Amino acid sequence: MRMEKILLIVNQADIAKTLSVSLKAEGYAVVRTRKGMRSLGDLEKEKPDIVIADIRMPGMEAIAIFEKIKALAHEAEVIVITDRGDTDTGIKALGYGASDYIERPIRNEALSIVLKRAREKLEAKRRLREIRVDLEKKIEAATRELWRRSKFQIRLIQSSNDGIVATDENLNIVIFNPCAEKIFGVSADEAIGKLSIMDLYPAQIAGTFQKAMKRRSRIKDLPWQEARVVSKSGKNIPVRFSGTVLMEKAQKMGTVAFFQDLREIKNLEDELVRSERLAAIGQTVAGLAHGIKNILHGLKGGSYLVDIGIEKNKTDKLKRGWEMIKRNIGRTSNLVQDLLSYAKERAPEYQPCAPNEIAAEVCALIAEKAAENNISVVTDLDACIGEVSMDPDTIHEVLLNLMSNAIDACLFDENTSKSWRVQLKTKKEKRKYIQFVIADNGIGMSEDIQQRLFTSFFSTKGHRGTGLGLMVTRKLVEEHGGSIRVSSKLNAGTTFTVKLPYEAVV
């Protein structure tokens, strides 16, 4: 336990001696002085914890003495000795900051009480001092941490690859990072405190923020969206943008917006489109060259047979050669027609028609070829389908392509023990769709072939196909707002399901 030091300022030697002995017995360090006014100098030298002073000193008024003591030892607890019954002086001393007062003659019990109160005040001061020091350390540490975090956040904002623009509640700009400077072409010095978002943002975005900052508005977050901003130099900059309203205890404090510069991405996208276009052109040219080469081989073969027939006057050679030439002329026509169909954008032309009648007509067109090859053609046409509004040309071309492919799938099947069969089924569905199902039990397709089926210039018919038929078919179906899917099993057959929307005939 710490030993408090007491400075006795008492003129009467006997009283000073008695107090000194008594106080030392109680464990205090005691310093005595009998120098009157000159003893006040001991206050700075000794730095006592408690001062017991007789304020009756020659040449000085009581309160003046006390004021001197407090001025020289403001941290010390001062107990003044007053005459018996002189409570006015004691109370006045208390008013000037004395710890306590005690009357003559000084009794040990009274002295113990006032000293106890003085010690409690000293202890309270020490605790407050410790708390203050500890609090100051914590405040200093918290301030350092806040400053560290603040610097980190500032660096984060400054180094962000996004343009960051923050505003106050009046939508005046308060944060404007370097990336925002690059996008808008405006320096931070020009923007912060001088511009509002109305001076900077596109009108639509600025208007949205204005609405969001209104008291009753529930708008808080603006989702990512693409926009264009105009820089100071007049450049049109593509950006990706989002923003939010900053809140504090349900109070709207300002806004923050994030801008991603899309110029480089858009340039890369344009370059990719150009590359893909060149690749598509190259693929198309390669496919055309391959298809034309096969046709030329057929034409050369046919013309060779014709030449032999003419030279040797053999009619059978002439017929065979001419048939080959006609077939390859037909292939050329089909190739050109498929290319035109695929390249040309065509909106469906809705008009009253009977889908079942179109399906029956397609079956009639392929009936002869099917009969020649012992392939039965079966129809299952939904009687509920009457006259509807659709594009009849699309229905006809799609069904003819798929039915012709189904016939070919049977012809390519090497399993001659089969009774080959092609079926065309129609069904009226809910939500104004008509379903067309074309199924065969021919050669079928593997999973790999099914995945490549609708790619350009891919054909399962080898040199006999152009590789464009199914691409054109899918294009026609999608232009009509429909869908096409395929299911197939190798050596078991294939089923194409086409769904096309219709409208009621008015």
pLDDT at 205 over 80: yes
Let me know how many helices (H) and strands (E) the chain has, helices first. 15, 17
Write down the residue that tokens 């397609």 correspond to.
362
What's the pLDDT score for residue 359?
A: 94
What's the pLDDT score for residue 467?
A: 52
What's the pLDDT score for residue 465?
A: 46
Report in angstroms the alpha-carbon separations of 343 from 126, 129, 279, 399, 475.
Answer: 94, 89, 16, 20, 10
Confidence of residue 194 (pLDDT cuts 50, 70, 90): very high
Check if CATH label 3.30.1330.10 holds for domain 5-130: no
pLDDT at 380 over 90: yes
What's the pLDDT score for residue 352?
A: 94
Confidence of residue 59 (pLDDT cuts 50, 70, 90): very low
Domain residues of the chain, as ranges?
Answer: 5-130, 160-261, 267-343, 351-501
DSSP-assigned letter for residue 4: P
Lowest mean pLDDT among 209-218, 375-384, 465-474: 465-474
Percent with pLDDT over 70 in the chain: 84
Task: Specify the pTM.
Answer: 0.41
Write down the residue that tokens 């078919």 correspond to.
473
pLDDT at 292 over 80: no
The string of DSSP codes covering 295-356 is: HHHHHHHHHHHHHHHHHHT-HHHHHHHHHHHHHHHHHHHHHHHHHHHHHS------EEE-HH
Most confident of 61-75, 83-97, 219-233: 219-233
The residues, any chain, with a CB within 8 Å of residue 334's CB and separated by 6 or more, are 466
Mean pLDDT of the chain: 81
pLDDT at 432 over 60: yes
- Indicate the Cα dihedral angle 211, 215, 216, 217, nearest 10°: 30
For 225-250, write each residue's pLDDT tens digit: 888 998 888 888 999 989 999 888 88
pLDDT at 37 over 70: no
Check if CATH label 3.30.565.10 holds for domain 351-501: yes
Give the fold, CATH level 3, of 160-261. Beta-Lactamase (3.30.450)
For 310-346, write each residue's pLDDT tens digit: 888 888 888 888 887 887 777 677 666 656 655 566 6
pLDDT at 41 over 70: no
Amino acid occupying residue 205: I
**If DSSP codes are grouped into helix, strand and coil, which group holds residue 482?**
coil
pLDDT at 35 over 60: no
Report in angstroms the alpha-carbon separations of 110 from 31, 102, 118.
Answer: 20, 7, 12
Cβ atoms of 238 and 231 within 8 Å: the answer is no
For 112-160, write each residue's pLDDT tens digit: 888 888 888 888 888 888 888 888 888 888 878 877 887 777 777 777 8
